[in-house]
Amino acid sequence: MNINFKHEWIETNIGLMAVLTMLAISVGGLVEIAPLFFIDKTIEKVEGVRPYTPLEQRGRDIYIREGCYTCHSQMIRPFRDEKLRYGHYSLAAESQYDHPFQWGSKRTGPDLARVGGKYSNEWHVQHLVAPRSMVPESVMPNYPWLLSTPLDISDTASRMKALRTVGVPYSLSQAEYDANVTKFGVTVAKQLHIPDAKKNLGEQANFGNYDGDRSGISEMDALVAYLQVLGTMVDFSKYSDDAFVDNR
């Protein structure tokens, strides 16, 4: 111990101690996280990834509300067994519009990152209402109220505005809409326009008829719409199987 240094200097100066404590506990984060903002390969350059439509986004809210993430991950790791069971490993690009991301670290149930398109809407509805009628060995709880609860769509636009604040490119102005047309094409850009949120949500629910009942929009409609889009945005047949190796 250097003779000139005394613990007393820090211990008797609360301001100095606060600054040094902050420095000490932020080193780990700074070293591991900060470089990701400067490395240009952090997010893969890939076509097809878009923000969720209003209906899918509301389904995502229900996914979070019901705590699905406590048992289901959305992160396929680059291992052979995971590729065989779930498909291509998850890309960073695929969750770039997720706030918060649903990667998770607990798999009581299977990973859901690529569940979209794997089962029919009807399977999802029946499985959410009574999981054991479809998978006898399942330990998943029943979620019958999703089918009987009308989806609250009154705050859809506000929710999209909140996501826009954290960087999801939902559009409010004509200029933002035009930028989305350039980036995602007209069909997607229309879905991302906040003033049309309720109309888009209703149309998608009616057209998709996810819960098998066109008389109203249930929470089931939204959740199944969300589940059916998971992992389907990138067409991996367009890419060589080592297209994303350089990104890690």
* Residue ranges that bind other proteins, judged by CB under 8 A: 1, 6-8, 11, 35, 38-41, 77-80, 83-85, 87, 89, 117-123, 126-127, 133-136, 209, 212, 237, 240-242, 244-248
Cβ proximity to other proteins: between 38 and 175 the closer is 38
Q: How far apart are CA 59 and CA 55, in angstroms?
A: 6
Nearest-CA neighbor of 222 among 199, 238, 206? 206
* Least distance between other proteins and beta carbon 135 (Å): 6
How does DSSP assign 22-89, residue by residue? Answer: HHHHHHHHHHHHGGGGT-TTSS---S---PPPHHHHHHHHHHHHTTGGGT------S-HHHHHHH-SP
* Least distance between other proteins and beta carbon 164 (Å): 28
Cβ proximity to other proteins: between 6 and 107 the closer is 6
- Bridge partner residues of 193 (DSSP): 171
Cβ proximity to other proteins: between 61 and 111 the closer is 111
* Least distance between other proteins and beta carbon 99 (Å): 25
What is residue 150's three-state secondary structure?
strand
Cβ proximity to other proteins: between 174 and 241 the closer is 241
* Least distance between other proteins and beta carbon 50 (Å): 19
> Which residues touch 225 (CB under 8 Å, ≥6 apart)?
53, 55, 56, 59, 204, 205, 208, 210
Element (H, E) at 116: none
* Least distance between other proteins and beta carbon 114 (Å): 8
Cβ proximity to other proteins: between 25 and 84 the closer is 84
